[in-house]
């Protein structure tokens, strides 16, 4: 087994924000492989986040972000369980990151559950027509349509969008990682995005 050095622990802490003892254990379980240890901590964090999801989140903050010289503005409400966590730098940073995401990526909905069924069906019909024109078999068309619907959700739903600072990560994963790090249930409640001169401001 590889020796666990202080440098390895520090690197893993920088990557994940996990505690020192958790990082040591993860490295020990992963035979000193930092990549595997990162995955190990993430899996543990996801399990912990799932347990916390049922707990009430009634504290939190309403954050704001103004972009492009006052031409785009965002308000977003993020909830947590305690006022103590709501005042921490980590929580405030998360709120700001989410507000910046809304400003940059212009989501229309919070999650896929909020997308009206008629909107999904309209998109599905468009995608099916496009796929049918290619002359592909029906079963292939269905797979193409399903893939395009998933991509649609990834474009219009905040929690399913790629995080602008780490495109390989979804915004929902960013929140889940924060749950694991802060030890409380966190909920993105709603947001509103205003763009100068645009009367159809996004609100979710």
Domain that holds residue 147: 116-155
pLDDT recorded at residue 135? 77
Taking a C-beta distance cutoff of 8 angstroms, is the pair 101, 171 a contact?
A: yes
Whether 162 and 103 share a structural domain = yes
Residue 10 has a CB neighbour count (10 Å cut-off) of 12
CB 20 within 8 A of CB 12: no
The model's pTM is: 0.70
Q: Tell me how far apart the alpha carbons of residues 116 and 152 are, in angstroms, rounded to a whole number.
A: 13
Domain presence at residue 161: yes
* CATH code of 149's domain: 1.10.286
Closest C-alpha among 56, 72, 19 to residue 192: 72
Q: What is the pLDDT of residues 25-80, one digit of tens each?
A: 888 888 888 888 888 887 776 555 666 666 667 799 999 999 878 899 999 999 99
Say yes or no to pLDDT of 1 above 60: no
Same domain, 107 and 63: yes
For 124, the token pair is 């599905």
Which one is predicted more confidently, 185 or 16?
Answer: 185
Q: What is the pLDDT of residues 135-163, one digit of tens each?
A: 778 888 888 899 999 999 999 999 999 99
For residues 98 and 173, membership in a common domain is answered with yes
Helix (H) or strand (E) holding 39: helix 34-52
* Mean per-residue pLDDT over the chain, rounded: 87
1 domain residue, yes or no: no
The residue among 77, 42, 62, 79 whose CA lies nearest residue 169 is 42
Give the number of domains in the chain: 3
- Of 204, 200, 111, nearest to 153 by C-alpha is 111
> 12-26, 30-44, 91-105 — which is least confidently predicted?
12-26
Question: Among 195, 188, 204, which residue's Cα sits nearest to residue 63?
Answer: 188
Percent of the chain whose predicted confidence (pLDDT) is above 70: 89
**CATH code of 103's domain:** 3.30.479.20
Percent with pLDDT over 90 in the chain: 53
């Amino acid at each position: 087994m590889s020796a666990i050095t202080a440098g390895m622990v520090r690197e893993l802490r920088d990557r994940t924000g996990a505690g020192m003892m958790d990082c040591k254990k993860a490295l020990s379980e992963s035979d000193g492989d930092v990549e595997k240890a990162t995955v190990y901590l993430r899996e543990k964090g996801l399990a912990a986040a799932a347990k916390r999801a049922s707990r009430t989140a009634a504290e939190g903050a309403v954050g704001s972000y103004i972009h492009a010289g006052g031409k785009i503005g965002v308000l977003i409400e993020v909830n947590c369980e305690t006022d103590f966590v709501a005042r921490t730098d980590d929580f405030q940073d998360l709120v700001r990151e989410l507000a910046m995401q809304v400003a940059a990526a212009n989501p229309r909905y919070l999650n896929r559950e909020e997308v009206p069924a008629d909107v999904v069906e309209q998109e599905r019909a468009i995608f099916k027509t496009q796929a049918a024109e290619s002359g592909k078999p029906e079963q292939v068309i269905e797979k193409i349509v399903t893939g395009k619907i998933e991509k649609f959700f990834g474009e219009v739903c905040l929690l399913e969008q790629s995080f602008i600072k780490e495109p390989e990560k979804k915004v929902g994963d960013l929140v889940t990682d924060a749950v694991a790090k802060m030890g409380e249930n966190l909920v993105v409640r709603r947001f509103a995005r205003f763009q100068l001169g645009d009367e159809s401001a996004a609100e979710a």
